[in-house]
A = this chain, B = another copy of it.
Amino acid sequence: MALYVQKYGGTSVGSLERIESVADRIDRWLASGHRVVVVVSAMAGETDRLIDMGGRLGAEGGGREMDMLMSAGEQVSIALLALALRARGHASRSYLGSQVAIRTDGSHMRARIVDMDTRHLSADLDKSVVPVIAGFQGVGPDGEITTLGRGGSDTTAVAVAYALKAHECQIFTDVDGVYTADPRIVSSARRLDAITIEEMQELSSLGSKVLAVRSVEFANKYKVPLRVLSSFVEDDSQNTGTLITHEETAMEQPLVSGVTYSKDEAKITFVGVPDTPGVASDILGPVGDAGIEVDMIVQNTALDGHTDFTFTVRRQDFSHVMRLVRDVRDRVGGREVVGDDDIVKLSVVGVGMRSHAGVATKMFDALAKEGINIQMVSTSEIKISVVIAERYLELGVRCVHSAFGLDQ
């Protein structure tokens, strides 16, 4: 009688047929003697449709109303799934975020979960009722509907699993697990049976879209057992997915667990700025003030009292940043400002790096052999990221994947 929290994303409930298939799966898990609590996203495309309508009416500054609008999406999918479960003979009850009191800090469109109330859910489970909870939404201190931002349903699922002390939080999605690299680029990429939560956290931050980074952070903080698996594979025995572990169990961790990339990158270089204190904050101050997130920052050693200063931002912010920094340049001086949004970030991740030297060298060698120039480097304890020209993306991912023996 293990308790599972199962989260189904938008494509998993994207049509009535998909909802029937999800209900069939839950039916099988219940028949195996398990207890299940379900968290569901809006049907694929619905949230975008609602946002688009709101935008066309002039949504500026209407965070409260946008939350009201968007949260209708999950309301539909939870009711439909509960009906499909009832049609299969299971008592089932759908719940809005407010009804299981997923309390948030109240900020609209990017709320953070504060706590929740499990009374309804525990009572349901005692009576063999299957609760179906709306992901992505919660209720602020003043009773207002608040949404959690993109990927918020994953976070809801992890929070529910934590609150109910579930055996496992299962994220059902359109891929069947976490891979050593994107299988669309590397045909020899392998599905990982397990990965550490720290690695998963890096992968999510670095552009892998399997799990929302906030949900992984949450799972890490509260040690929630997490598994990613497919909602499209019918045979449950073949659908073991990837377990995200909280301990480095193997005696010897692999050097590198996976290669990932992000196309959502652009870089800005200040060439020949004076190497005086305060220049970096002069440059980045206005960018931060505009609410734009800066990712990598590189400053070279100064020569003749001048240096080059480079940073990366998300590609959608590129033209905005270029406008901002033109003014900055007039103030701080320097030869010129060069922008480039024709780049990608390629990263290798692995807890094995901690105890092994030479990972960076191996990666740089592999890229050099293919004639791929490295424009920027950034490292952490368990990852190395490089910026390269976008045209080398596929070649770069494949050669690095192979250099670390990930295809074996």
Cα distance, A94 to B59, chains bound together (Å)? 14
Cβ A94 vs Cβ B79 within 8 A = no
A35 touches B (CB below 8 Å): no
Cβ A87 vs Cβ B66 within 8 A = no
Partner of A79, one of B20, B66, B86: B66
Cβ B58 vs Cβ A80 within 8 A = no
Partner of A82, one of B56, B65, B87: B65
Cβ A83 vs Cβ B62 within 8 A = yes
Partner of A75, one of B16, B53, B72, B78: B72
B-side contacts of A79, CB under 8 Å: 54, 65-66, 68-69, 72
**Contact flags (1/0) for A307-332 with B, using CB distance below 8 Å?**
00000000000000000000000000
By size class, the interface of chain A is: 35 or more
A84 touches B (CB below 8 Å): yes
- Tally of this chain's copies: 2
Report which residue of A61, A64, A78 has the largest number of chain B beta carbons within 10 angstroms of its beta carbon. Answer: A64
**Contact flags (1/0) for A254-289 with B, using CB distance below 8 Å?**
000000000000000000000000000000000000
B-side contacts of A2, CB under 8 Å: none
A383 touches B (CB below 8 Å): no
Cβ B69 vs Cβ A76 within 8 A = yes
**Given contacts A53-B16, A57-B87, is CB(A69)–CB(B80) below 8 Å?**
yes
